[in-house]
Structure 1
Amino acid sequence: MARRTVAVASASGLHARPAKLFVQAAARLEVPVTVRLGEKAVPAKSMLGVLSLGAVRGTEVTLEADGPGAEDALDTLVALLSRDLDADEALNA
């Protein structure tokens, strides 16, 4: 099983727009990904699950995936969480 830990960089954490972008990216992947915060684990493709984690800026989450393409899938999602998606939105406004 592939596993990566990453700190959430978005100013609002995994809430609102950043969570939506993360879930949309996970839904495009061919491998299922799980997001873990402490003992709680949710599917990365679940908006309600991701929001229920309550991850704020700086919170470390662990992404897990298994199977062909798992490493690439995690690379994609880690890169997304490592950016401040709130700041990206301000630049595009």
Structure 2
Amino acid sequence: MTERQATIASSSGLHARPAKLFVSAVKEKGIPITISVEGGADLNAGSILALMGLGAAKGSVVTLKSDAEGAEQALDELVALLETDLDAE
């Protein structure tokens, strides 16, 4: 299982536009990926509803996981996306 942690950088957290961009990026990877906040359940990172339910605000640390082939590179790219202020772009 490959696992990475990321700190949410977007000022609105993982909601609205940042969530939409993140879900699109997850779907482009074509592998199953989960996301969770500390102490929370692993949720489908490719689901906008799951992301909205996380309640991940700016500064929250989330964990991404996948056991699929190519997960290392995919998770690294997704971490970079989450650690970018997507509201500013």
State the TM bucket, normalised to the shorter chain: over 0.9
**Aligned 8 A contact 1:30 1:69 in 2:** no
Q: TM-score normalised to the size of structure 1? A: 0.91
CA–CA separation in structure 2 for the residues paired with 1:7 and 1:65: 18
Report how far residue 31 of structure 1 moved: 1.5
Task: Give the match for residue 91 of structure 1.
Answer: none
Task: Give the match for residue 27 of structure 2.
Answer: 27
Aligned residue runs from structure 1 range 5-84, under 5 A: 5-37=5-37, 38-84=39-85
Q: Which string of whole-angstrom CA distances, capped at 9 and with x for unpartnered residues, describes residues 13-54 of structure 1?
A: 000000000000001112111001122221111000011001
More helix by share: 1
Report how far residue 67 of structure 1 moved: 2.0
SS of corresponding position for 1:4: strand
Structure 2 letter corresponding to 1:69: G
Point out 4+ residue stretches in structure 1 off by more than 6 angstroms. Answer: none
Cα-Cα RMSD: 0.7
SS of corresponding position for 1:74: helix
Report how far residue 76 of structure 1 moved: 1.2
Q: TM-score normalised to the size of structure 2? A: 0.95
Structure 1 letter corresponding to 2:51: V
- Equivalent residue pairs, number: 88
**Aligned 8 A contact 1:63 1:74 in 2:** yes
Structure 1, gaps ≥5 residues long: 89-93
Task: Give the match for residue 4 of structure 1.
Answer: 4
